[in-house]
Chain A
């Protein structure tokens, strides 16, 4: 069980008031707030340690390098990666996925197939579209059933499949994807398996060896860490086979890449001065999350999600999207007669921050037959009272719009 009062006290921003109301922050799938431990780690790094890494022959340079490499080892432990050298620091999950699409994708040939799902975030769609365009490879999609789960029986994984890249947890529907099963099918077909874990890593234990991922991507800022730091996990042999991300004959290679860091994995993929402060902050965030206990966090978020589904189900004219059963810590919904933008605006007046829009999933929105949805997404510090506040604010929006629309 989480000590919720204590957890909330760890996050200074939760004391903010918005439009005269206490902040009810339910946009955690977009980015989470940061605990004091992360703020202190980042400030502490800049106050006591800051120097450029890897080449400085002076005390601070050594300390900064140590701090950076310790953070890498911390991430490796968090994912149960075999070694720190499996961990490439990038800006965010998008960059990690682009890295794979360029550096691994360069071997694709016309007619090769890349298998995705229709509910990918644009960050796990556009890099593959670009790769398909460059290579002549073809995008195939695992069909999505009406209940928001994947129809694995019709997964187009076969002899031509070279890459299977899927989200671990949908940022719109909350659908949890059976990653280990898809990894096994990808490997049976001789393909590599890429997992976009941006929405799963903050909410559940993710073990790259148990899942047998070839690559895994996540963003630090969605898991209580700073913005601008993200992670690509890759199997060592694959990372070693790959060209540098910014290589491939583009001129940017010579402008940006530091040759001294090319020789070995993972530095081969980390051109230029890295975000050392961000890496230190991310390590502190993972310490914090494991300190709370991922199982306890998951249990708490399950309760919040179930409560939100209950509150919304009780409201007339509200449609909830996504699977009925097990799902991630978020709920997408629409309210009859109230556009999601308008809904979000009214909720903001009540201090309730949700997301409204296409959530970087335009193809999925088309399949759902909506232009946009509202989305409430949860984190360790949210409370059941906040879920009630969401329900009350939605009712208020309905009241406001039914009155003005009379």
Chain B
């Protein structure tokens, strides 16, 4: 498998110039997670308004795959309802386990090559797991 199949241009674009890097003002969720295999760390903050993710941002240190995945995730979930975001998180997880690429994934399909590199899957899923944890914590907080 050629390197270019893993390091697709879209991925490297996001790695080079990540979108939504930083922290969200007035965050309703803010979660940090560690990739135990490499020590990479990521922090995802977001603000949910009326059941929609009004803003999301990430900070962290990591490899190209984890940072690009985080950047693409922020693009993908902004404006989505929490439920839609959860559906997308599940679809992305499927993709990383070698599942089919649904139309809802859009650009994220460029990360499909990661599924063929088992040790890198965690790199790609770390931001998503972090967001999911944040959404769950926020929901539990609201719902009591």
A, B from the same assembly: yes
Given A339-B63, A400-B3, check contact A362 B38 (CB 8 Å). no
Contacts of B7 in A (CB 8 A): 342, 400, 404
| Residue from A339, A357, A365, A400 whose CB has the most chain B CB atoms within 10 Å | A339
Contact A371/B12 with A341-B63, A404-B7 known, Cβ cut-off 8 Å: no
Find out whether the CB atom of B64 lies under 8 angstroms from the CB atom of A339: yes
Contact for A362 among B3, B9, B39, B63, CB less than 8 A: B39
Interface size class of chain A, counting residues whose CB lies under 8 Å from the partner chain: 10 to 19
Q: B123 touches which one: A341, A349, A400, A404 (CB < 8 A)? A: A341
Q: Contact partner of B63 among A342, A349, A405, CB < 8 A?
A: A342
Q: Are A358 and B38 in contact (CB-based, < 8 A)?
A: yes
Question: Is A357 touching B39 in the complex (CB atoms < 8 A)?
Answer: yes
Query: A331-350: contact bitstring with B at CB < 8 Å (1 yes, 0 no)?
Result: 00000000111100110010
A404–B10 Cα distance when bound, in Å, is: 10
A371 in complex: contacting residue of B38, B65, B120, CB < 8 Å: B38
Q: How far is the CA of A357 from the CA of B15 in the complex (A)?
A: 19
Q: Is the CB of A346 within 8 A of B3?
A: yes
**At the interface, yes or no: A279 with Cβ under 8 Å from chain B?**
no
When distances are taken between beta carbons in the complex, the residues of chain B under 8 Å from A356 are: 38
Min distance, Cβ B134 to any Cβ of chain A, angstroms: 21
Tell whether A405 pairs with B3 under 8 Å between CB atoms, given A341-B38, A371-B62. no
Given the complex of chains A and B, what is the CA–CA distance between A372 and B40 in angstroms? Answer: 8
Which residues of the other chain, B, contact A345 by a CB distance below 8 angstroms? 3, 6, 117, 120
Interface string of A61-90 (1 = CB under 8 A from B): 000000000000000000000000000000
State whether B40 touches A371 (Cβ < 8 A): yes
In chain B, what residue has the closest Cβ to A356? B38
Known interface pairs A345-B120, A349-B3, A405-B15; A357-B37 also in contact (CB < 8 Å): yes
Minimal Cβ-Cβ distance residue in B for A361: B39
Whether B63 lies near A358 (C-beta < 8 A) is no
Complex Cα gap A19–B1 (Å): 8
**Interface hits, B54-92 → A, CB 8 Å:** 61-65
CA distance A345 to B120 in the complex (A): 9
B132 within 8 A of A: no
B interface, CB within 8 angstroms of A: 1-3, 6-7, 9, 12, 15-16, 37-41, 61-65, 117, 120, 123
Given A339-B63, A346-B3, 10 further pairs, Cβ under 8 A:
A339-B62, A340-B63, A341-B38, A341-B62, A342-B64, A345-B3, A345-B120, A371-B38, A371-B62, A405-B15
Interface pairs A-B: 10 shortest CB-CB? A341-B63, A339-B63, A358-B39, A404-B12, A357-B38, A371-B39, A372-B38, A371-B61, A342-B63, A342-B64
